[in-house]
Amino acid sequence: QVQLVQSGPEVKKPGASVKVSCKAFRYAFSSYYIHWVRQAPGLGLDWMGVINANDGSTTYAQKFQGRVTMTRDTSTSTLYMELTSLRSEDTAIYYCARRRATRELDHWGQGTLVTVSS
């Protein structure tokens, strides 16, 4: 069945960068968009942006513009989300999710906890 498998937890210092991966299994990788959503501890879901796995085009939420970069590697069916200039408020679980043609997010990765602490 369709699966998105994310990389493991990360601990970073303020000012550092983090790159989270999301490997796709058992579907036509280039046919779907992948969205990234984060969730700070005890809070709700926060949409970060989207990448078209076919051509690599991206759209980012305004609040992350300049700090986030989403990329993909079609040879390994892997998506990446890099966030720079980390601050404590970036401590969260980061999820990748597949978007169907009808625009809903039907499969989600298991999440990657990123902790930013000095």
CA nearest to 86, candidates 5, 7, 11:
11
User: How does DSSP classify residue 24?
Assistant: E
User: How does DSSP classify residue 13?
Assistant: -
Name which position in 70, 95, 114, 116 contacts other proteins (CB under 8 A): 95
CA nearest to 70, candidates 87, 88, 83:
83
User: How does DSSP classify residue 100?
Assistant: P
Q: Under a CB-based contact definition with an 8 Å cutoff, are residues 39 and 46 in contact?
A: yes
Q: Which stretch binds other proteins (CB under 8 A): 8-16, 17-25, 37-45, 75-83?
A: 37-45
Tell me whether residue 42 or residue 118 sits nearer to other proteins (CB atom): 42
103 binds other proteins (CB under 8 A): yes
Name which position in 61, 66, 88, 117 contacts other proteins (CB under 8 A): 61
Q: Which stretch binds other proteins (CB under 8 A): 8-16, 23-31, 78-86, 107-115?
A: 107-115
Question: How far apart (Å, rounded) are the C-alpha atoms in residues 37 and 31?
Answer: 20
Tell me whether residue 8 or residue 44 sits nearer to other proteins (CB atom): 44
**Rule CB under 8 A: which residues touch other proteins?**
35, 37, 44-47, 49-50, 59, 61-62, 95, 97, 99-100, 102-106, 108-111
